[in-house]
Amino acid sequence: MSVLVGIDIGTSSIKSIVMDPAGKQLGFSQIDYSIDYPAFGYAEQDPSVWWKLVCRASAKALQQANISGNDVSGIGLSGQMHGLVALDENGNVLRPAIIWCDQRTIRQKDELETLFTQEQFGKWIQNRVSTGFQLLSLLWLRENEPEIFRRVWKIISPKDYIRYRLTGEIGSEMTDASGTSAFHVAGRTWSEPLLKNLRIDPELFPKLSEPWEICGTVTVQASAESPFVAGTPVVFGGADQPMQAIGNRIIDPGTVSCTLGTGGQLLTPLEQPVYDPNFRTHTYVHAVPDRWYLLGATLSAGLSLRWLANNIIRNPNYRWLDESAKQVAAGSDGLLFLPYLIGERTPHMDPFSRGVYFGLTLNHHEGHLIRAVLEGVAFSMRDCLEIFKTVGVRVQRIIASGGGTKSTLWKQILADVFNREIYVSSMDEQACVGAAITAGVGIGLYDSVEQACSVIVKLKDTPVVPQAQNRDLYDHQYSVYKDLYWKNRELFTRLNVTKSGIGGDEDHDPKGIF
C-alpha cells in the first residue's frame, strides 16, 4: 500500500495523519503540549519537544493505519506561523523558539514604525510589522542576547525545523517566509531594502522553494528516531493557514476560510497581492501557483476558551462547556467579552489591548461566561470579515475549520454573527490533509494541488444556516463590542506602562534596534 503522511506542528499539539491517494484517512494521532511563559508577555516552545512528539504521533498514526514506514511514499508538513528557531553553524538550536503569540517586541515594533513609514512597509513587505513575528524577535535577540545572536547561522520557522530533523536540509518556502515581516510578498523574495536598513545579514534567512517541491529524503539518523524509512521523500510543506486552505479546497477568490484554533483566522485567496492600506490584515503567498491570500487574525480564539476553562471555571471538559453555553440565550443576557488576552492583531494591531468581560450582573453564571467567550471570538472574526469587504473581497462561501468547529453551538454563533451560511469539510484535520496533498504533488501522485483537491476535498452538503431572529440582536451587540475597544484603548495603554519588560520599563536602558 502507498500512503501519504501530513504532519502539523501546531501551537498546542502535534498532529499526524496517514492518508491514501483518494484522500481516505487511515490513521491519525494528536499529542498536546503547552506554551512556556518564562516572563510576562513571553511565549516560547522547545523545538526538541516538537521533534519527539512528531516521532511519537506519526508512529501512532501508522500503527492505527496498520502499516509501516515502508508504505509511506511522501511526507508533507504544516506549521504554526511567524516563530523564530535560531540555529548555529552545526544546526543546533541556540535557545527556545520565540513563537507567534509572544509580545516582548513591543518596543522594537514601535521603533521600526518610527523609523519607517507605512508607505515604505507597503513597498518593502506589503504588511505591517507585528510582535511575535520572526524579524522583530531577531531584533530583540540582537539587543538582549548578543552572545547568542553572534552564534546564529540560520533562522527558520517551526515546521522548517522538523523538516531539517527529517532530511538534514536547511530551507524554507514562500508561505512561511510571508509571515516573517522580512519578506517582499509581491516579489516572492526576502526584502533586501528592509534588511539592509536594519543591518541584518540576508544570509541569516534560508533559501526559499515552493511548498510542493521535494526538499530531501529521510536520513538514516531520522529513520532511527522516527517511524519513517530512510530515503522517503519530504516536501517543503507550508504554513498552517495555506495548508488548511488547501485541505478545504480554498484556492480561488470568493471562498473564505474561518479557522477556530488556538488563534482565529479568516483567509481568502487573491489573484494579485492586494493589501489593506491601513494594515489591519496581512497579505501572504498562497500554497498554489500565482495566488496570494488576505488574512485577518485574532490572537485568542480557542485560547480564550481554554483560559476560561482552565483558569476560571477549572473544568476543561469541552463537551460540558458547550452544553452549559447552550442553556444561555443568544446575546448572553447582555454580557460581552473582548478576547484580547494577549493583545490583538486584526483589526487593531494593538499588543496593549486586553481581555474584558463587560456587562456583568448578579444574574450571570458560568454558562453566560462561556457563551460570551464564543460570541466575543465570533465578533472578532466579524471584524476581519468587515475589512475584507472594504478592500473589494467577494464573499461567496465561508468554510469553517479548526478545533472550535467541533462545537455545533460555536458554528451556529458564527453563522448568526456573520449572517452567512457556514460550510464545513467532510474531512477533519485540514492542515494535515493540505500537507499530505503537497507531498502527493511533490512525488508526482497528483498533477497539481488543484487536481488533488478536486479528487480529495468534499464539503458536507448541508451548511449551518443563520437564525433570522438573532440578526438584529447580534448586529446591536457587535456595534457595542466595537465601541468597547475604542473607548478603552487609552486605558489599555496606561495599564500596560509597567515594569513588565514589554511596556514602558523605566529601568531599561534602550540600546535602539541597531
pLDDT in tens, 173-197: 999 999 999 999 999 999 999 999 9
- In this prediction, residue 425 carries a pLDDT of 81
For residue 501, pLDDT over 80 is answered with no
Per-residue pLDDT reduced to its tens digit, 320-369: 999 999 999 999 999 999 999 999 989 998 989 999 999 999 999 999 99
Pairing status of strand 238-239 against strand 72-79? parallel
- In this prediction, residue 309 carries a pLDDT of 97
- In this prediction, residue 504 carries a pLDDT of 42
Kindly report the number of other CB atoms within 10 A of residue 514's CB atom: 11
- In this prediction, residue 243 carries a pLDDT of 96
- Specify which residues 172 forms β-bridges with: 208
The confidence band for 265, taking pLDDT boundaries of 50, 70 and 90, is: very high
Mean pLDDT of 397-405: 91
Exposed/middle/buried for residue 333 (C-beta within 10 Å: 0-12, 13-18, 19+): middle
Of 83, 96, 481, residue with least CA distance to 262: 83
Please state the three-class secondary structure of 388-450 as a single string: HHHCCCCCCEEEEECHHHHCHHHHHHHHHHHCCCEEEECCCCHHHHHHHHHHHHHCCCCCCHH
- In this prediction, residue 510 carries a pLDDT of 38
- In this prediction, residue 503 carries a pLDDT of 47
**Range ranked top by mean pLDDT from 334-338, 422-426, 507-511:** 334-338
CA distances from 385 to 267, 381, 439 (A): 9, 7, 32
For residue 507, pLDDT over 60 is answered with no
Mean pLDDT of 123-150: 96
138-163 per-residue burial string, b: 16 or more CB within 10 A, e: under 16: bbbbbbeeeeebebbebbbbbbbbbb
Average pLDDT, the chain: 94
For residue 246, pLDDT over 60 is answered with yes
- In this prediction, residue 460 carries a pLDDT of 84
Domain extents in the chain: 3-242, 250-424+467-498
Helix (H, G, I), strand (E, B) or coil at 85: strand
Equal CATH topology for 3-242 and 250-424+467-498: yes
For residue 89, pLDDT over 80 is answered with yes
- In this prediction, residue 513 carries a pLDDT of 58
How many alpha carbons lie under 13 Å from residue 368 in its C-beta half-sphere?
A: 15
For residue 421, pLDDT over 70 is answered with yes
Dihedral sign, Cα of residue 201, residue 278, residue 255, residue 30: positive
Q: Check residues 171 and 390 and name the one with the higher pLDDT.
A: 171
- Choose the catalytic residue: 160, 176, 240, 416: 240
Of 104, 119, 94, residue with least CA distance to 42: 104
The answer to whether 240 is a known catalytic residue is yes
Share of the chain above pLDDT 90, in %: 89
Give me 361's grid cell.
Answer: 450582573
The one-letter amino acid at 404: G
Per-residue pLDDT reduced to its tens digit, 68-88: 999 999 999 999 999 999 999
The confidence band for 508, taking pLDDT boundaries of 50, 70 and 90, is: very low
The confidence band for 512, taking pLDDT boundaries of 50, 70 and 90, is: low
CA 497 to chain centre: 28
For residue 132, pLDDT over 90 is answered with yes
The CATH fold of domain 250-424+467-498: Nucleotidyltransferase; domain 5 (3.30.420)
- In this prediction, residue 119 carries a pLDDT of 94
**CATH 3.40.50.720 describes domain 3-242:** no
Per-residue pLDDT reduced to its tens digit, 29-53: 999 999 999 998 999 999 999 999 9
- Cβ(210)–Cβ(392) under 8 Å? no
The confidence band for 498, taking pLDDT boundaries of 50, 70 and 90, is: low
For residue 129, pLDDT over 80 is answered with yes
Per-residue pLDDT reduced to its tens digit, 204-225: 999 999 999 999 999 999 999 9
Mean pLDDT of 379-408: 92
CA distances from 121 to 125, 201, 243, 255, 324 (A): 6, 19, 26, 28, 46
